[in-house]
Amino acid sequence: MNFEALKPKVTEIIIQFDISKDEKLTKICQLLQDAIPYYNWVGFYFANHETQTLHLGSYVGAETDHTVIPFGKGICGQVAVSNQNFVVPDVSAQDNYIACSLTVKSEIVVPIFVEGKNIGQIDIDSHVLDPFTSEDERFLEFVTQEVAKLF
């Protein structure tokens, strides 16, 4: 399925009135993982600015021990500090990478902003080397803008 066809499906989940925010986030994770073959783990981390940590929210894919990530550590922690998208074509080439699984080959992280503040991010791992394009980035920026409406 192409990204343009997925956009209304994401919006449809966001505006559902009969499910919780966490259920909406889980449904978005599941939609993305089901629709995009190289999205093997899809999850959200949310920032606690007082403790300078990210906390795992809804996700689909293999279980992870990384439920709390300090700002600056790993790809997600770096995005919490930089406020910039981070695309990693080959995680083995990254010095500051927190390995979740030997099957993860690449990662993309896009921050979520609410009123200009980075409140979290969507994190996607792939078992494929270098699958992420600028189209993935633009699509995930759309997703994070939609998710921001929940906060």
Mean local confidence (pLDDT), 7-26: 97
pLDDT in tens, 116-139: 999 999 999 999 999 999 999 999
**pLDDT over 90 (residue 99):** no
CA distances from 64 to 19, 58, 99, 100 (A): 25, 12, 10, 6
Domains of the chain: 3-148 (3.30.450.40)
Percentages (nearest 5) of helix, strand, coil residues in the chain: 35, 25, 35
